[in-house]
Amino acid sequence: MASLYTDFLGIKSPNPFWLASAPPTDKKINVLRAFEAGWGGVVWKTLGSQVKNVSSRYSSVDYGGHRVMGFNNIELISDRPLDLNLREIEECIKLFPDRAMIVSLMADNDRESWHEMIKKVEDTGAHGFELNFGCPHGMTERGMGATVGQDPEIAAMIVEWVMEKATIPVITKLTPNVHSVVPTGRAVVKAGSNALSLINTIQSVTGIDLDTLVPNPYVAGKSVFGGYCGPAVKPIALKFLTTISQDSITNKVPISGIGGVTTWKDAVEFMLLGSTSVQVCTAAMTHGFRIIEDLCEGMENWMDEKGFKTTKDFIGLSVNNITNWESLDINYHHIANIDQEKCIHCGLCYIACEDTSHQSINLDYGKPYNKYTIKEDECVGCNLCQLICPVEDCITMVEHRKAPEYLNWIEFKEKGLPLNDH
Amino acid sequence: MAIENNRLDESLYAENFSDIHPPFDSYSAALVEANRCLFCYDAPCMKACPTSINIPKFIKQISTENIKGSAHTIFSSNIMGAGCGKVCPVEKLCEGSCVYNLLEEEPIAIAKLQRYSSEMALDKNWKIFERKILPEEMKRKIAIVGAGPAGLSCAHVLAREGMDVTIFEKEKRGGGLMTYGIAAYKVTPEFCEQEVNYILSIGGIDVKYGKELGVDFSLEELRRDFDAVYLAFGVGLTRKLNIPGEDLNGVVDAISFIYDIRTHDFKEVPVGNKVAVIGLGMTAIDAATQAKRLGASEVSIIYRRTQNEMPSTEVELNIAKLDGCNICWLSAPNEIMGVEGKVAAIKCDVMKLGEPDSSGRRFPEPSGEQFVLDVDMVIKATGQTPYYDLVNEYGLENKNGKIAAGKDGQTNFENVFAGGDNVNGGKEVVDAVQAGKDGAASILKYLNILVGTKNIQI
């Protein structure tokens, strides 16, 4: 049986699933419920500068009948008294000593505030820190959160202050509200950060009430940019994660992956692209802590099937499978095939290809069912028809190489090979 | 026991005649179903609809919360879309061809979704169509005989195009068989009235109720006083069985029986204790189930062929079975026996199937065996007969009373068009609606109002 046991810079947890710094981790009652459910660890909701939260706080995007494809919040860091948080953190550690307890911090922008905070949190027995340089709403107006993460120099300066004092591992959480996370990632690693986590939420407007004309979430007739997360952001998170995993400086430290992790498959994908642990929030907020059971069982079953004994056996295995476009093999070619036995004649492949792709599908009219077949000579192998086909394995992409040898764009150009004539 | 009314208490009547297919009770419920729809291209459901409603589009519009647009999509093709959502045999039309059937999954609940948008349009009285305003010299006067589905559908298209329409209807209400000939648990009189009023609300349609062709006016008068005439007077009563005892007290026509139910309080409608229904079409089912629901203790449907040949759909048959009706397959009545002038029993031949007949179905022949059922009421539902005498009296070319009209609906009189049951002999409401649209298009073309029919949804 595969083991999910995770050691992140000495921070030990029975599985790689941590609850991200967020409302689910802002007080003892929630955290104990999470640990009882089986979560490997938590990142306690950010402590630091004094704040007051507003009502309402969340909004979401539904899609195709599913609630909360994307989730948005304007909640600030913890608005509870610091002493209460510290006492509860200590109690949780004592009750569940085998779980990871990382505390998220966002102190005022001066060395003393950070030092003072670090001392107080270390006294609780916490196992690590996560520096919140990513929160994109509210705190940014005070020069904190994402404002720090967007400026590599300021981020590095704060990390230096932290490293002067901290005796437990320090993870720096990066904001995706930048064109690249690598500059800040490099700067904080150079400044001594022991690890990185990403992504934080993405600035967003989730929608507007078409009666009141006020965007959501609604606060007394106004709204504000919020932080977007949930299943919708996973592909963006995976992309940012890959850039960190491929950079020669940032890939020297462990990574905790965040951003729309909903299922065990999502978590495996984050780990294949270099995450040692993954952090979850929206999925728990939409379904409760009980999802941890399938997260663990699904990952274990997959590992058993693939022969991976520990998570280390597969972490990072897909990092090098993402390359530059210019290195792709131009001689690779595949063509769609429609299994006529499985086809239900919905015509979705046809209309998509005909209107928006390469007119590669034949239509033979019938009543009531039309017949659809692929024009193999026209098909460019784009996948569109396969992606929209509602029937499993009805449309498959069948390999038809243009030539046996590997050929990339640079070689193609050098050889002066002919371009398309249509 | 004999034929009597008031067999049940009020609450049982209410329960027995409540809507058999309840609508979605919230937008969320409709949304779940709407989101299941794949939005097929050149969709099989649409091709299976006689009125070609753009079903994927109207369902998509429900999912985008464009309910008014959804109703517009439905009504553009079928102005009786709300009623058809209640009475169409969708299992052999749109839902029967839904691609989900090929995945062995439940088809999309198209009728229920159609009701969602179209009933909302009726309830909120959305003004979806504007009547064209034409200069006087372009206006034409058109007479329509019959305010059933074909007549109303034809009238609506013509009124939309700016014509002045007069409908002559022999009953007191419009809707035709929708109002008078369909089971009360499918549509209520209130709904039918609402639907008719909604159709008429476009303006330009004057309905003269209580006016019957051949009684109150003649075809010649219409031809003289109007620019064109559309005949949509439907079909008449059930054809005769031509067996002894057919005139006994207690033998009724299914159409009359259903008409009584639709025009009286349930408690006022008499029904036998043991009822035989002859035939197994949709009307036979409507008669049998309603006899049971009015309080008959035993209802037997007598059908001379087998389930393979029955005109009813399986869905309809199952309603009768669930209501506790017996089905006597391969049974044909050969005598209704009476006591003191009243029905007492029915004698049937046990049939066997022989060679296929002109309909392609194997023809039943007596096997020599017989059986007798004790019954006190016999309801005849063996198909309706055309108004043979009427059409012959006016010199309308016809085939056994069914008016001969081509695809364009034109009869042997150049300004007289016809469509619906009086041409096809009796089909579904949805077929009549399409016939009305076709008729309107032909009339407009005949009157040179439009070249072609591109402005009309056919």
pLDDT in tens, B334-365: 999 999 999 999 999 999 999 898 888 889 99
Query: Is residue B346 assigned to a domain?
Result: yes
Q: Does B288 touch chain A (CB under 8 A)?
A: no
Secondary structure of residue A283 in the 3-state scheme: helix
**pLDDT surpasses 70 at A163:** yes
User: A350 is in which domain, residue-wise?
Assistant: 325-414
Taking CA–CA distances from B100, the nearest residue in chain A reads A344
Looking at the fold, whether B30 and B102 belong to one and the same domain comes out as: yes
Confidence at B333, pLDDT banded by 50, 70, 90: very high
Looking at the fold, whether A139 and A283 belong to one and the same domain comes out as: yes
Looking at the fold, whether A310 and A399 belong to one and the same domain comes out as: no
DSSP secondary structure code for residue B37 in this structure: -
Query: Is residue A242 assigned to a domain?
Result: yes
Looking at the fold, whether A248 and A365 belong to one and the same domain comes out as: no
Looking at the fold, whether B393 and B372 belong to one and the same domain comes out as: no
Give the pair of three-digit tokens for residue A364.
């033979």
Residues in chain A within 8 Å Cβ distance of B97: 368-369
Q: What CATH number has the domain bearing residue B84?
A: 1.10.1060.10
Q: What is the mean pLDDT of residues B145-161?
A: 97
Confidence at B458, pLDDT banded by 50, 70, 90: very low
Say what the pLDDT of residue B450 is: 63
**pLDDT surpasses 80 at A422:** no
Q: What is the pLDDT of residues B375-408, one digit of tens each?
A: 999 999 999 999 999 999 999 999 999 999 988 8
Structural domains in chain A (count): 2
Is the CB of B63 less than 8 angstroms away from the CB of A351?
no
Q: What is the mean pLDDT of residues A326-351?
A: 97
Contact partners, residue B130, CB within 8 Å, separation at least 6:
B160
* Mean predicted lDDT score pLDDT of chain B: 94
Query: Is residue B55 assigned to a domain?
Result: yes
Confidence at B217, pLDDT banded by 50, 70, 90: very high
Looking at the fold, whether B105 and B181 belong to one and the same domain comes out as: no
Say what the pLDDT of residue B95 is: 98
Which residue in B31, B41, B44 is closest to A348 by CB distance? B41
Q: What is the mean pLDDT of residues B433-452?
A: 87
User: Considering only CA atoms, which of A387, A347, A386 is closest in space to residue B41?
Assistant: A347
Predicted TM-score of the model (pTM): 0.92
* Phi, psi values for residue A367, rounded to 5°: -125, 120
Q: What is the mean pLDDT of residues A330-340?
A: 97
Say what the pLDDT of residue B453 is: 46
Q: What is the mean pLDDT of residues B173-201?
A: 95
Q: Please report the ipTM that was assigned to this predicted complex.
A: 0.90
* Mean predicted lDDT score pLDDT of chain A: 97
Is the CB of B42 less than 8 angstroms away from the CB of A347?
yes
User: B155 is in which domain, residue-wise?
Assistant: 136-236+385-446
Q: What is the pLDDT of residues A23-39, one digit of tens each?
A: 999 999 999 999 999 99
Percent of chain B with pLDDT over 70: 98
Domain boundary among A321, A338, A370: A321
Q: What is the pLDDT of residues B44-74, one digit of tens each?
A: 999 999 999 999 999 999 999 999 999 999 9
Looking at the fold, whether B364 and B256 belong to one and the same domain comes out as: yes
Say what the pLDDT of residue B242 is: 93
Which residue in B35, B41, B48 is closest to A351 by CB distance? B41
**pLDDT surpasses 70 at A298:** yes
Looking at the fold, whether B389 and B375 belong to one and the same domain comes out as: no
Q: What is the pLDDT of residues A215-244, one digit of tens each?
A: 999 999 999 999 999 999 999 999 999 999
Q: What CATH number has the domain bearing residue B274?
A: 3.50.50.60
Looking at the fold, whether B330 and B413 belong to one and the same domain comes out as: no
Query: Is residue A13 assigned to a domain?
Result: yes
Contact A65, B60 (CB under 8 A): no
**pLDDT surpasses 50 at B451:** no
Q: What is the pLDDT of residues A43-67, one digit of tens each?
A: 999 999 889 999 999 999 999 889 9
Residue environment code for A37-74, b if the CB has 16+ CB neighbours within 10 A, otherwise e = ebbbbbbbbbbbbebeeeeeebbbbeeeeeebbbbbbb
**pLDDT surpasses 60 at A257:** yes
Looking at the fold, whether A169 and A257 belong to one and the same domain comes out as: yes
Looking at the fold, whether B362 and B299 belong to one and the same domain comes out as: yes
Give the pair of three-digit tokens for residue B46.
């649409």
Looking at the fold, whether A134 and A250 belong to one and the same domain comes out as: yes
Contact A218, A279 (CB under 8 A): no
Residues in chain B within 8 Å Cβ distance of A65: 31-32, 34-36, 63
Which residue in B32, B44, B103 is closest to A65 by CB distance? B32
Contact A20, A301 (CB under 8 A): no
- Please report the number of interchain residue pairs, chain A to chain B, with beta-carbon separation below 8 angstroms: 45
Is the CB of A346 less than 8 angstroms away from the CB of B38?
yes
DSSP states along A131-183 = EE----SSGGGGT-THHHHT-HHHHHHHHHHHHHH--S-EEEEPPSSSS-SHH
Residues in chain B within 8 Å Cβ distance of A347: 40-43
Say what the pLDDT of residue A49 is: 84
Q: Which is more confident, A418 or A171?
A: A171
**pLDDT surpasses 70 at B457:** no
Looking at the fold, whether A311 and A347 belong to one and the same domain comes out as: no
Looking at the fold, whether B351 and B277 belong to one and the same domain comes out as: yes
Q: What CATH number has the domain bearing residue A363?
A: 3.30.70.20
Looking at the fold, whether A93 and A229 belong to one and the same domain comes out as: yes
Structural domains in chain B (count): 3
Say what the pLDDT of residue B115 is: 98
